[in-house]
Structure 1
Amino acid sequence: MNQYQAIDEAMRSCRKCATLFAEYPVDPRVNNTCVEPRPIVTGLIPKPVMLIGQAPGLTEYETGKPFQGDAGKGIRGIFDELGLSRARFDELVYSSAVIKCFPGSKPKLRAGKVREDVLPSAEMIRNCQSFFKGQIQLADPQIIVTLGGLPLKAFLKLTGRKSSDARLENFVGKKEIWNGRTVIFFPHTSGASRWLNEPQNRLMLQQAKALLRSEMIERGITTP
């Protein structure tokens, strides 16, 4: 078994968070059935772009595929807009997340019976940390795109900085070079995020898009 197969198998078989997930329902609008560990991972092979989200959502839990819900549709649309078509997204983008399993839904519904995902706990994040590092090492991307606040915190911690410094307004629309890779910071693309309600934040998103487009062209991933 090679190193790619070993970490892929370890991720798929991981059940470290079983007791944590057991506290939360899959979908309280339906019933109180609790979440089971169900790592959402794709075959671990090198790809030029790596996308890091927060965690799989309910749609990913149900389909077993990453970035299928609203956030996934949003980011696939952005890549399509920037020259990497939806048809080639899964071929060229390694989809990942800070934690690999859907953490569950909040037990209580908001007014109007609106379901909300649980925010991954510090223990969930710690349990997935070695997988997070391993995915970056083995996927060996040229470009890393972080999607939202939690992936930004995870990246800062990985690079020896304080996660408390992870303010989106200080990073979105900028890029860093890390170990020969370009890291570009995006806000979360789901409709639940309020960060993009501010005009100045929408401007930073446009700057992030321009950086990503330029970087993909420069590295030969897409064409002008």
Structure 2
Amino acid sequence: MTPDNALAALLDWYLAVGVDEAIGDVAVDRFRVPDPLPPPSMAEASRPAPAAASGPQQVRHLPARQVLARPAAQSPTDAPESEVRHEGALKAARTIAAEAGTLEALEAAIEAFDACPLKATANRTVIRDGVLGAPVLVVGEAPGQEEDRTGKPFVGPAGQMLDRMLGAIGLSRSENVLITNIIFWRPPANRKPTPQEVALCVPFVRRFIELSQPKLVLLAGATAAQALLDRTDGISRLRGQWFEQSTESDRPIIPTLATYHPSYLLRSPAQKRDAWKDLMMFQERLESLGILIPGREN
């Protein structure tokens, strides 16, 4: 491989994992321990210390790398004000979601919701794809670059992987699957959503589940599983077991299975074996409910 081809391959890999914009010329290592200050010279050590009341204190300017390595100082009132704003936005999200009586009204409410800071940096609001009223609902994490461009979830490489996974057990977004995400706006550079960002979107997702009334829910990845199951376990512990998806209404509990996110499987092919086991469990449940007919191509 020539140097030019190697560079092009590296850039393609960056785009595939979501690194598509530069924040600075040099990365800042915020976990680095600052370099110790040099000891004073003999001349400095021999000088008497100035009296506290003799004049203004001297300020020692630290190197820029030491300043950047330190966490930014916060005003004592910053955190409470931030928490108040978040709690107000969360209360509004719950109220708005609960008032939506149809999926169309809910989608309009999500489009108009401005309290999630991710909306300010995204190009599109990405809500759903697939068939309304489908018996299967798939919930992923957040839109990526392609999803942000098209306005539909799971249309990039991870979406192609998801389509192959669903097709292997007789499912298709064009026939019997509805797809959404925990987050409706792309996080900058495809970073992991913060707990606050997830919390602001969860009321809308729960209402989406209530209104779409699926028979089964498949949660793709840790973010979706932890948010909707109210668990802190990693996806390796949550996958491969059934949960009962609770809603905020009196509608029936929905059986829910968690598995690995397709993008994780693209990075970690060794985990496809466990993902396949999850899909077999999901297919068996579909057949027991009469959604799929055993022994037939559905």
TM-score normalized with structure 1 length: 0.74
- 1:11 has 2:81 as partner: no
* Structure 1 residues 155-186: Cα deviation after superposition (integer angstroms, max 9, x where no partner): 222xxxxx32x222222222224443221111
Aligned to 1:98: 182
Gaps of 5+ in 2: 1-98, 246-251
Aligned length: 188
CA-to-partner distance for each residue in 1:179-222, whole Å, 9 max, x for gaps? Answer: 4322111101115765553xxx4442222011111122222222
Partner of 1:36: 122
Match of 2:68 in 1: none
**Conserved 8 A contact 2:122-2:148:** no
Give 5+ residue unaligned stretches, structure 1: 23-34, 106-116, 158-162
Specify the structure having the higher radius of gyration (Cα): 2
Cα 1:195–1:182 shift into 2, 3 Å: farther
Question: What corresponds to 2:170 in structure 1?
Answer: 83
Q: Does 1:173 align with 2:237?
A: no
Tell me the equivalent position of 1:133: 206
CA-based RMSD: 2.4
Structure 1 ranges of 4+ moved more than 6 A: none
Alignment partners' CA distance in 2, 1:2 and 1:36:
24
> Which position in structure 1 is the counterpart of 2:276?
206
Matches within 5 A, 1:150-161: 150-157=223-230
Cα distance, 1:6 vs. partner?
A: 2.0
Contact 1:147 1:185 in 2 (8 A): yes
Cα 1:2/1:156, change in 2 over 3 Å: closer
Report Cα offsets for 1:4-37 as digits up to 9, x if no partner. 132121012222224x565xxxxxxxxxxxx336
| In 1: Cα distance, 2:292 partner to 2:111 partner | 31
Higher relative contact order (CA 8 A, sep 6+): 1
**Aligned: 1:63 with 2:136:** no
Deviation, 1:40, is: 0.8
| 3-state secondary structure, aligned to 2:192 | coil
User: Structure 2-normalised TM-score?
Assistant: 0.57
